[in-house]
Structure 1
Amino acid sequence: MELYSTLSLLLVVAALFAYVNHRFLRLPPTIGLMTLTLLSSLGLVGLGRLGVPAVLRVAELVRTIDFHTVLMQYMLSFLLFAGAMQLDTRSLGRQRVPVLLLATVGTVISTIMVSCCLYLLLPLFGMPLDFIYCLLFGTLISPTDPVAVLGILTNAGLPKALETNIVGESLFNDGVGVVLFATVLSVAASGADTVDASQVLLLLLREGVGGLALGGVLGFGVFWLLRNVDDYRIEVLLTLALVMGGSALAARLHTSGPLAMVVAGLIVGSQQGRHAMSEVTEDYVDKFWELIDSVLNALLFALMGLEMLVLRIKGQYIGIGLVAVGVVLVARLVSVSIPLSFLRGRREFSEFNLAVLTWGGLRGGISVALALSLPPSMPRELLVGITYVVVVFSILGQGLTIGPLAARLQRGRSK
């Protein structure tokens, strides 16, 4: 009953805020939901400190939610599969090299830069941290969030190739970031002295390569099943079974579920995959996953806002977080510039592309979920506080301005 009450609360909040945003604010859904939930949460925090019983009961319900499990093991698989289904695989094929470089080399560069800067800056605030914990923060904040990106950038009016770069990168670097985070967390929990390089490499291979391979097997398996049946109800059910069963299997095999779902979604949503469906089935499958994507996006940002009720974010953490915003943006600029510099001889990457790729690298619920998964024995409150500041700035600050920025830069480029 408690689980039902919690889900009911989230759904009611998400539905009401989605309505208010659509009817009055008219902001992009992701930004509108985040704005409303944060503002309402700040008000509820104030009422909670006054001891209002109803607010205290809501806070208790929120405390029962395992944010990391809900997002990483359940919601993320659906969101990534839906996002990959919507991506134009032909355009992705043409942009595969920059997407691969940004999702791998770029994520690693950003992780190293953010980690080193945080390690050097925290003593200035009187809060020095071991480097391994700074590295943890680097791994959780460096990947751009496909949920935030898909919800905002698809309406920003970007050139198709550039949109594919940003969305494709966000889908894949999420999996890369989760793999890196799991590896560093394992080292931090065991102690750097007790873990050797072979163990780290084995973990990376099992999570990364295993996730890619599992996604390929599941995607082609369901593609074969879709090709041999012509009933939209069965075919929608097959895609749903792919996501639920595939993510459960990935968890059992200790491979990366996010990577597996991205690969499976790309295969099922490819031109060949769509040829396996009739026009009626394709329409039903697209609408089903579009609805799933919209509902889960609303629930995710309602959940992120309500988490403010139970977090203890000190004023000092906000100050560090604001500094971290600048660090993360500079690291994003460098991590985009270096991979793209390798391609200048093969294709043109203008300052326009660099600016949009840098400012369009939004952080979201995945970073928050990873931070909340840290055990109490680690500096969890500090890292969660910094992460929340960076994510809120990213979604509200960057998300609100990426469209106007892209339009302004395009006008300047056409002169």
Structure 2
Amino acid sequence: MNINEILTITIVLAAAFAYINHRFIKWPPTIGIMVLSLLSSIALAFLGSFHPILSKKAIQLASSIDFQDLLMNFMLSFLLFAGAIHIDAGQLKKERWPIIILSTVGILISTFLVGLLVYYLFQIFHHAVPFIYCLLFGSLISPTDPIAVLAILKEAKIPASLEIKISGESLFNDGVAVVIFITLMNAARAGGADVSMFSVSKLFAQEAFGGLIFGGLLGYVGYRTLRSIDDYKVEVMITLAVVIGGYYVASHLHISGPLAMVVAGITMGNKVRDGAVSDLSRDYLGKFWELIDEILNAVLFLLIGLEMLIIKINMTVFLIGGISIIIVLLSRWVSVFIPISLLRYNVKFERHAVTMLTWGGLRGGLSVALALSLSSAMHRDEFVFITYIIVVFSILVQGLTIGALAKQLQQSE
């Protein structure tokens, strides 16, 4: 398939599923679109025995799209910037310690715990997988993605402080998790040779701190540029240039592009709200990035559903994936409980913060993309299938019940 066919089919399907969901199902858009995409994939697989052309065309579409490259090298920069630009820096600053600790220490705890438990789980099923690859899986499945659940949380009227904790953590832990994943990937490729704590720490510091510093600089330059003119069309183009150009430069500097986009988005978004641009420009910028966010999320969750067509299914691995759901939830609980227990002496937390942060920690497209970047020697097929099972469960079950859980917990107080 050529790029024109891929774009046409993808956008038409995303629009059709978005309409059906909005008109009849009325679930959160990302969840509804993914469910319709999944059901369509299953139906096409079933109809393939009767009408092979339909199934063949659908598989050809799914195979033609490099999901990992599309998300990591294009969509992720826009999604993170679009999410960060609406974050209130003042509220973020008030909750900075929970967000910092959860998105760093929490991710490390989850990565190690998931890796360890999955390593022994594979052994129980007589499926030998080296520990370093299990750690890689732990790092790719640990970042949370609350995009599909934030609207539900707002409807449930949870405390604003808890909402900023969830959204702030997700923005930063995406970037941190990518850095941890890259660090472990390099260690795995080296096979342990010439890998020391110093080299690992150096790579982590370069990626993480480099991304944060570059993002701050990028956001400041972008803000100063916006401030010097008053033309919303040019200002929108400048924000696009910041995202596309900044992410490209970050990748060539070997620093974290995701973290750079988060910091740049927060910096520019808050400067815009503080009066750096006219009211007209602020309105256009806000609506433009909200629209970009909605469109890309619709396409992203459509593609997650279509991946069902090309994932290799193995019943033993399916069972391991089912058990891994429990492992990931348990690890998430531990990675939230320990930091909150240590911070409670100096930071005020909501009564049900641990429960909400655990169940509201959804996994999404980033985890699937990172799993797809594994090589076949790293047990790619097994980890892609397990990741897919966890992501689908997370979005469907957790995403559709988090609102009801929030209301129930509030009523029990």
What is the TM-score when the length of structure 2 is the normalising length? 0.97
Identity of aligned residues (%): 51
Q: What secondary structure does 2:378 align onto? A: coil
- Map 1:83-122 to 2 at 5 A: 83-122=83-122
Q: Which residue of structure 1 lines up, in the alignment, with residue 277 of structure 2?
A: 277
1:194 is paired with a residue whose SS is coil
Q: CA deviation at 1:126?
A: 2.0
Letter in 1 for 2:231: D
- 1:57 counterpart residue number: 57
Say if 1:89 and 1:271, in contact at 8 Å, map to a contact too: no
Number of equivalences: 413
Structure 2 equivalent of residue 307 of structure 1: 307
Offset from partner CA, 1:187-210 (integer Å, 9 cap, x none): 111211332223222221221111
**Corresponding letter in the other structure for 1:261:** M
Alignment of 1:321-360 (within 5 A): 321-360=321-360
**Aligned equivalent of 1:380:** 380
Alignment of 1:141-220 (within 5 A): 141-150=141-150, 152-220=152-220
Q: In the alignment, what sits opposite 1:43?
A: 43
**Contact 2:33/2:302 (8 A) holds in 1:** yes
TM-superposed deviation, 1:12: 1.1
CA contact (8 A) 1:211 1:256 kept: yes
Which residue does the alignment assign to 1:320?
A: 320
- How far 1:162 moved relative to its partner? 0.2
Contact kept, 8 Å, 2:146 with 2:361, in 1: the verdict is no
- Return the offset for 1:181: 0.5
Instruction: For 1:280 and 1:319, locate their aligned partners in 2 and report how far apart those are by CA, in whole Å.
Output: 54
Question: Structure 1 residues 26, 398: closer, same or farther in 2, change over 3 A?
Answer: same
Partner-residue secondary structure (3-state), 1:249: helix
1:272, CA displacement in angstroms?
6.1
Mind listing any 5+ residue stretches in structure 1 that lack a counterpart?
Answer: none
Over 3 Å counting, the alpha-carbon distance change for 1:139 and 1:78 in structure 2 is: same
Residue type matched to 2:397 in 1?
Answer: G
The amino acid that maps onto 2:267 is: I
Identify the residue that residue 133 of structure 1 maps to in structure 2: 133
2:391 maps to 1:366 = no
Alignment of 1:404-415 (within 5 A): 404-413=404-413
Q: Which residue of 1 is the match for residue 67 of structure 2?
A: 67
Superposed displacement of residue 377, structure 1? 2.1
Runs of 4+ in 1 over 6 A off after TM superposition: none
Q: Distance in 2 between the 1:93 and 1:353 partners?
A: 18
Amino acid at match of 1:332: R
2:261 paired residue number: 261
Report the Cα offset of residue 157 of structure 1: 2.5
Q: Which residue of 2 aligns with 1:403?
A: 403
The Cα offsets for residues 385-404 of structure 1, whole Å up to 9 and x where unpaired, read as 11011101100010000000
Q: Compute the displacement of 1:229 (Å).
A: 0.8
Distance 1:358 1:189 in 2: 32
Contact 1:146 1:171 in 2 (8 A): no
Displacement of 1:47: 2.7
CA distance in 2, matches of 1:396, 1:121: 24
Shift of 1:176: 0.5
Amino acid at match of 1:144: T
The aligned counterpart of 1:5 is 5
Q: Which residue of 2 aligns with 1:298?
A: 298
Letter of the structure 2 residue corresponding to residue 37 of structure 1: S
Q: Distance in 1 between matches of 2:244 and 2:114?
A: 34
| Distance in structure 1 (CA, Å) of the matches to 2:198 and 2:96 | 30
Whether the 8 Å CA contact 2:146–2:360 is kept in 1: the answer is no
Provide the rounded CA distance (Å) in 1 between the counterparts of 2:305 and 2:49: 17
1:224 positional shift:
0.6
The whole-number CA distance in structure 1 between the counterparts of 2:227 and 2:351 is 44
Is 2:28–2:148's contact at 8 Å kept on the other side of the alignment?
A: no
User: In structure 2, what is the Cα distance between the partners aligned to 1:345 and 1:21?
Assistant: 45
Aligned residue number for residue 391 of structure 2: 391
Partner Cα separation in structure 1 for residue 245 and residue 318 of structure 2: 40
When structure 1 is superposed on structure 2, of 267-276 and 84-93 the one drifting more is 267-276
Task: Name the amino acid aligned to 2:332.
Answer: R
Contact kept in structure 2, 1:149 and 1:170, CA below 8 Å = no
* Pairwise CA RMSD: 1.5
Task: Tell me whether 49-58 or 354-363 shows the greater mean CA deviation.
Answer: 49-58
| Contact 1:267–1:273 (CA under 8 A) maintained in structure 2 | no
AA partner of residue 46 (structure 1)? F
Q: By how many angstroms is 1:353 displaced? A: 1.2
Cα displacement string for residues 297-346 of structure 1 (whole angstroms, at most 9, x for unaligned residues) = 00001111111111112122221111111111111111001111122112
Alpha-carbon shift at residue 44 of structure 1 (Å): 1.5
**2:289 is matched with which residue?**
289
1:55 Cα deviation after fit: 2.0
Indicate conservation of the 8 Å contact 2:44/2:58, yes or no. Answer: no
C-alpha distance 155-315 of structure 1, shift in aligned 2 (>3 A)? farther
The match for 1:22 is 22
Q: Summarize the Cα distance change of 1:46–1:350 in structure 2 as closer, same or farther, 3 Å threshold.
A: same
Give 5+ residue unaligned stretches, structure 2: none
Letter in 2 for 1:116: L
Distance in 2 (CA, whole Å) between partners of 1:372 and 1:50 is 31
**How many Å separate the matches in 2 of 1:136 and 1:325?**
16
Deviates more, 1:365-374 or 1:304-313: 304-313
Counterpart CA distance in 2 for 1:36 and 1:288 is 26
Residue-by-residue CA offset, 1:350-407 (whole Å, 9 max, x unaligned): 4411111110000000000000111122201110111011101100010000000000
Q: Amino acid of the residue matched to residue 223 of structure 2?
A: F
Q: Take 1:249 and 1:286, find their aligned partners in 2: how far apart are those partners?
A: 25
AA paired with 1:316? T
Q: How far apart are the structure 1 equivalents of 2:377 and 2:58?
A: 27
**Equivalent AA in structure 1 for residue 266 of structure 2:** L
Residues 28-86 of structure 1: CA deviation (Å, up to 9, x unaligned): 11111111111111111223355611321221222121111100110010000000011
